[in-house]
Structure 1
Amino acid sequence: METRGLEPVPDSERTGRVRTLFPTWAAANMTVLLLVMGAGLIVFGGLNLWQVAFVAVTAPVIGYGLVGAVSIAGTRGGAPGLALSRAVFGQRGNLLPGALIWVARWGWETVNAVTGAYGLLAVCDLLFSVRADTAPIMAALVVFVASSFLVSGLGVGALRLCCTWSAYLFGGFSVLVLIHLGIGTQWRALLDRPAGPTALMVAGVGTLAAGGISWAPTGPDFTRYLPRTAPGRSVVGATVGGAALVVLPLVAMGAVMAVATPDLAVSNDPVTFIAASLPAWISVPYLLTAVVGMVLINAMSMYSAGFAAQTLGLTLPRIWAVGVNAAISLLLGSLLMMVATSFLDSFISFLTLLAVTFSAWIGVFGVDQLQGRTYDAAALLDTSPAGAYWYTGGFAVPAVTAWGAGLTVGLLFTGVKWFSGPLAATWIGRNGLGWAATIAVSGGLYALLPRPAGHEDDTPLHF
């Protein structure tokens, strides 16, 4: 069991390998929600197969390219992402983005827990004819959250091992599903579809990239055990490659399924819908491996959320900090499973807000990296006014200002199911690019503002 919390990993223990990032980020995308997204591009976006393929390739390059770039900070500082950002925002200033990111993690874990619980129920229904009543729903949710907590509680070693084997299993069964779909699909009807609007293709890229962007603040959590000499290009390449290897086939698979079963895009229970669309000999093992994948996604999120809680002042060992998030996920998941009405709309709305929330942090943190940030291990843990990262009353004013401005601008361009900013009808807003505006404003403003006292100078970050 990993016992280290926020404290940076000493160089003597940083013996990890860059190649472990490939299965880690492959596992982070092993979710049937990508099938739903692919179906939505066909049904609602009106795109053809080639446009869907463009979206599925471009989105992970953008989203996980940012994840990989931010992850390089983990090799430089050896600490979790939100601990490293204390050096950027100040000990008190870091509480603002940290709290928002922690709360956003609740939503991501809740959505994923609900999807995973549906997967368990679908398998139980196929094997034992278990009906999705209140008791089985809650039992499935408890089993899913408890499994996520177990893996995340054990720590990064267990996560790496599970991600590697599940990536192989999920990939193998996905190939079987693709072959089955390929045999039964009316390819002429699919290939002859006219191209959809370019604006909707751009929106698809923005929405799908948002899922990757939401992992950026957690990237350093999985690279802090890599040596300082780990090449930045290799870190980015392994991150993007692992994600793209899963995103492309799953989104394409969802698009193919939508031709025969367009209701996939609007199903409140997408997992059960997928199970009914495939023969039992494929659907049962495929859903089981998919559930394992979703457990790992939740475990990765809980792992990072535990660090987020600790940066906010929760004085608990890492495993108990993870447990707090597990309890919150269980509570919110039970509410969502009982009251959800439009799963895809809710999911896309959540992804859009999540991306804007995290992008404000990414813009500031990323520019700070490019300016040559180095990290003082002792100062990261020193939350007193005597610490090097106390700055002005605990705040790095330029960073906090840029973060707040970027977040505000991003929300102005955001239009979702529950909220619509005054600029949501503009081209940026309609195409789901509020997160891009957020990064541009927060990063650009931070680059222009003077550095706070105590900022270390070093050589710029090279890839």
Structure 2
Amino acid sequence: MQDDFIKVPNSEKTLTPGKLFYNWFAANIGIMGFVFGAMIVNYHLSFTQSMIAALIGALSFLAPGWVAMIGQREGITTFKLSRAAYGIYGNKIPNVIAWLNMVGWLAVNVITGTLLLVSLFNVIHVEKNTVTKAIALIIFGGLVICSGLLTENTLAKIQTWLSYIFGILTVVILILFLVKADWHAAFALPSGNWITGVLPAISIVAAGSGISWSMAAADWGAYVNPQTRPAATFWNTTLGGAVPMFVLMAGGILLSTIEPSLATTGDPFGVMYAALPSWIGVIYFLVAAGGLIPQCIISFRSARINLATIGIHVSQPTSLLIHGAIVILIPIYVLFISGNFLSNFEIFLNFLGICLASWVAIFLCDSIMFRRHGYDIQLVKQDSLVHYNFGGILSWILATATGFLFTNNAIWNGPFAHGIFRNNSLGVFLSAVVAIFCMLIVKTFKRGRI
């Protein structure tokens, strides 16, 4: 009976590769892809370098594809699988960080949706002020919280239709950008440094896309039909996330040639609207706001699963109340106190990226090194006798600490954040590299499965 509780029942494994693709496509077709493209340009890269960074950053979805495939094979959700690498108690720390990641993305999406609505208010000549921001926050935050009450089947239908609608509109927008883009300015951009420019740009994109979504990948992979080929699960997850992200980031890169202020403004969505013809801008931003809902759906779902895996079991209404309060309070700070969305967003990605990059690296290394023939169910049970797997725990602590030591931003100044590590996100990349190195050391001291 305990095994049945750990593993997803076969009766619930109904996801097909197509549904898996639409799930990740819908979650990543949101307007934030344009913002990521502008952030890449802000690293002072040439057009070619920016496109390379966008492509490699989008390919970070290879990690969620891999994790989803493991989830399908085992029929177990992400942070139950993670117990094998860290131990039943040791797993709680990265589990809490994963929960913070999901809640953080919920807050980011609420902030994004609020700013979109504020931009739309300008169309009907409603003055942008504190009151209108508050109204927009109440409207969008309320929609997000209410989405948590919908059934799985309803959510799947919403995601599928939004994929079609927003996908078609995105193609139209990209054509407009291609026509309007200043190609001479794009190709004239001077080349940046490959180490201090391209690598940090890749790492910040990966932190906000593939690395971040790895937390939820097995939560969906575990529900895939057992008859599905593992390769289909892998590629539908990978391409479902990578394709829309790359296309939208390319659009953001081009948009930055039209509106150079996009990468530095506190209201990137208002800048985007100004760059579009009014006839398509209104429609696009309305759908863009709706397109954020699928991302919130995934985050809500995984946040509840993570709470339960930590050992905090609450009802769906209680979960909605807890997460709803958090995702309203954080936007209040960013929108009404701090006032700088992109600056806070980069800090969020930087901090969580370091923690999650090391977690993903250790999770996948542990799977390759010790779980090639499958996971021992005894290691992932709540009453497992392996409370602490110190190989995984120490690797994560060392890798994460190293990442922070070589990182600086507006609120943190690592003692070794000098030279090539100054004022960029190389700490994210470094934490993953150190994690892999530590796990190779663990492998030399342990043989077989643990």
Q: Using structure 2 for the length normalisation, give the TM-score.
A: 0.89
* One-letter amino acid matched to 1:97: P
- Give, as a single letter, the amino acid of the residue that structure 2 aligns with 1:410: G
Task: Give the C-alpha shift of residue 225 in structure 1.
Answer: 0.9
1:117 and 1:137 in contact (8 A); partners too: yes
Q: Of 65, 68, 73, which aligns to 1:68?
A: 65
Letter paired with 2:399: G
CA distance in structure 1 between the partners assigned to 2:409 and 2:152 by the alignment: 35
Quick one: which amino acid aligns to residue 124 of structure 1?
Answer: F
Residue 185 (str. 1) matches residue 181 (str. 2)? yes
Which shows bigger deviation, 315-324 or 73-82? 315-324
Deviations 1:312-348 (A, max 9, x none): 2222134532442222111111121102343322222
Which residue of 2 is the match for residue 9 of structure 1? 8
Instruction: Report matched runs for 1:224-239 at 5 Å.
Output: 224-228=222-226, 230-239=228-237
Tell me the residue number matched to 1:440: 433
Give the structure 1 partner of residue 385 of structure 2.
Answer: 390
Stretches of structure 1 that go unaligned for 5 or more consecutive residues are 458-463
Structure 1 Cα separation of the partners of residues 444 and 142 of structure 2: 44
Structure with greater proportional helix content:
2
Deviates further, 165-174 or 422-431: 422-431
RMSD: 2.7
State how 1:149-168 maps to structure 2 within 5 Å.
Answer: 149-154=145-150, 156-168=152-164
Residues 69-91 of structure 1: CA distance to partner in whole angstroms, max 9, x if unpaired? 12222112323212222233222
**Alignment equivalent of 1:367, drawn from 365, 368, 382:** 365
> Relative to structure 1, is the Cα distance of residues 397 and 196 closer, same or farther in structure 2, using a 3 angstrom cutoff?
closer
What are the superposed Cα offsets for residues 36-66 of structure 1, whole Å, 9 maximum, x if unpaired? 3322333x333232222212111111x2111
**1:228 Cα deviation after fit:** 4.0
Tell me the residue number matched to 1:40.
39
Alignment partner for residue 289 of structure 2, among 291, 294, 301?
Answer: 291
Instruction: Report what 1:142 is aligned to.
Output: 138
C-alpha change, 1:322 and 1:358, in structure 2 (3 Å) is farther
Q: 1:105 aligns with which of 102, 106, 116?
A: 102
Match of 2:193 in 1: 197
Shift of 1:159: 3.6
Q: In the superposition, relative to structure 1, how do residues 195 and 397 fare at CA in structure 2: closer, same or farther (>3 Å)?
A: closer
* Runs of 4+ off more than 4 Å: 375-380, 428-431, 450-453
Question: CA, structure 1 residues 227+87, in 2 after alignment: closer, same or farther (shift >3 Å)?
Answer: farther
Q: In structure 2, how many angstroms separate the alpha carbons of the residues matched to 1:410 and 1:232?
A: 33
| Number of residues of Structure 1 aligned to a counterpart in Structure 2 | 442
The whole-number CA distance in structure 2 between the counterparts of 1:46 and 1:176 is 28
The answer for the alignment partner of 2:89 in structure 1 is 92
- Residues in 1 aligned to 2:326 and 2:139: alpha-carbon distance in whole angstroms: 15
Partner residue, 2:29 = 30
Contact (CA 8 Å) 2:46, 2:190: kept in 1 or not?
yes
AA aligned opposite 1:191: F
Distance 1:351 1:372, change over 3 A: same
C-alpha separation in 2, matches of 1:217 and 1:57: 21
* Alpha-carbon distance, 1:219 to partner: 0.8
Which one is further off, 163-172 or 225-234? 225-234
What's the counterpart of residue 427 of structure 1? Answer: 420
Q: How big is each residue's C-alpha offset from its partner over 1:261-318, in whole Å with a ceiling of 9 and x where there is no partner?
A: 2111122111122122212211111101111122221221121111111122222134
What does 1:261-276 align with in structure 2 at a 5 Å threshold? Answer: 261-276=259-274
Q: CA deviation at 1:241?
A: 1.4
CA contact (8 A) 1:40 1:265 kept: yes
| Distance in structure 2 (CA, Å) of the matches to 1:83 and 1:142 | 35
| 1:109 positional shift | 1.9
TM-score by length of 1: 0.87
Question: Are the counterparts in 2 of residues 266 and 342 from structure 1 also a CA contact under 8 Å?
Answer: no
The answer to whether structure 1 residue 400 and structure 2 residue 393 are counterparts is: yes
CA distance in structure 2 between the aligned counterparts of 1:173 and 1:279, rounded to whole angstroms: 13
Output one character per residue of 1:143-178: Cα deviation in whole Å (capped at 9) or x when no partner. 323322333443544443222211211111112112
Q: 1:182, CA displacement in angstroms?
A: 2.5
Of 50, 53, 56, the match for 1:55: 53
Structure 1 residue 114, shift from structure 2 partner: 0.6
In structure 2, relative to structure 1, the CA distance for the partners of 1:66 and 1:433 (3 Å cut) is farther
Quick check: 1:264–1:273 contact (8 Å CA) kept in 2? yes
Residue 416 of structure 2 aligns with an amino acid whose one-letter code is L
* Contact in 2 for aligned 1:153/1:303 (Cα 8 Å): no
C-alpha deviation, 1:106, in angstroms: 2.7
Instruction: Tell me, in whole angstroms, the C-alpha distance in 2 between the residues paired with 1:208 and 1:277.
Output: 23
From 258, 275, 278, the counterpart of 1:277: 275
Task: State whether residues 92 and 390 of structure 1, in contact with CA within 8 Å, keep that contact through their aligned partners in structure 2.
Answer: no
8 A Cα contact 2:408 2:424, kept in partner = no
* Distance change in 2, residues 1:361/1:6 (3 Å): farther
Give the aligned residue type for 1:175: V
Residue of 118, 122, 127 corresponding to 2:119: 122
Closer, same or farther: CA 183–273 of 1 in aligned 2, 3 Å = same
Q: Percent identity at matched positions?
A: 27
Alignment partner, residue 133 of structure 1: 129
Query: Deviations for 1:96-148, whole angstroms, at most 9, x for unmatched residues?
Result: 1111222233322222211111112222331x323333333223223323322
Contact 2:30 2:291 in 1 (8 A): yes
User: In structure 2, what is the equivalent of residue 410 of structure 1?
Assistant: 403
Residues 420, 254 of structure 1: alpha-carbon distance in 2 compared, 3 angstrom cutoff: same
Q: Distance in 2 between matches of 1:66 and 1:134?
A: 41
Tell me the distance in 2 between the aligned counterparts of 1:446 and 1:188: 47
Q: Cα–Cα, structure 1 residues 405 and 379, in superposed 2: closer, same or farther, change >3 Å?
A: closer
